[in-house]
Amino acid sequence: MKKIAIFAKVHDPRCVGIAEELVEWLVARGLSPLVEPHLAKHISCTYTAKRDDIPEQADLVVVLGGDGTLISVARLVGDRQVPILGVNLGSLGFLTEITLTEMYPALERCLKGDYEVSERMMLRVSLHRDGAEIEGRQVLNDVVINKGALARIIDLETEVDGRYLTTFKADGLIISTPTGSTGYSLSANGPIIHPQLDCLVITPICPHTLTNRPIVVSGDALITISLQSVNEDVFLTLDGQVGFEVKHGDQIRIQRAERQTRLVQSRSKDYFEVLRTKLKWGER
């Protein structure tokens, strides 16, 4: 590994300071840091690269911040499948599980090729209008279709692999990966899914029919959702960070992406320890 990309939560002074130290650490070892321009301005760094060009150049990506920062970087890396080392500088994250004290030892191991990755499913999401695809993106966590603040309950006709499932009458619908099952889906009473399982979760948001419950389907499924409601404010949100307006008759197609996100794993903790800590299991 020669080229190491650095992304950080630029509004957090601590993240910016650590990013500056990390650049110096890499340069001292004869490595080439790749810093996106927005972060480079905060640390007076000359080792810059265009944000969209970084995935093609980097051998490893280091993310300083929380899960939200890592999720945005995962979408950027996309098909390149560069390993991502997520360093959490706040409370323990589900994705950024490596602590600051573990960062440099973990980097040393990565540079030697002595590391393990957790491969996480991503989704390919496309929005179709009048028979044409108008948006197409990849997501790591979840796809959410929900109504605006003043809109009424919306009707979402849902098919799985071309077979009619139901028309959800609800405030919205969440389609999550196993990684995203501990996010919005969990707060909507969805199940916790181990990240290595091959499945998708469909979770209705405040359904009008109480018997509409979350359902787990195959990871190979093609989920198609059509908005049947007229004159309602409806939005498609990807990973809680990117959004689009959905109109009557629009169709949303969701399926497994060709590539996966590769997360460098911590050697000091496992997934169940993260669950216990984050969800405070065993505490009275």
- Residue numbers annotated as active site: 67
Measure the CA–CA gap between 237 and 226, rounded to whole angstroms: 15
Q: Are 239 and 71 in contact (CB under 8 A)?
A: yes
Residue type, 81: Q
- SS3 sequence, 38-71? HHHHHHCCCCECCHHHHHHHCCEEEEEECHHHHH
Six token digits for residue 48: 């810059």
Question: 82 near 252, Cβ under 8 Å?
Answer: no
In single-letter form, the type of residue at position 260 comes to Q
Angle ∠(183,167,136) on CA atoms, nearest 5 = 55
Residue 207 and residue 154 in contact, taking contact as beta carbons nearer than 8 Å: no
DSSP state of 91: S
In whole angstroms, give the CA distance from residue 238 to residue 142. Answer: 6
Q: Encoding tokens for residue 221? A: 């499924």
Give the dihedral of Cα atoms 80, 81, 83, 89; nearest 10 deg. Answer: 80
Residue 81 DSSP label? -
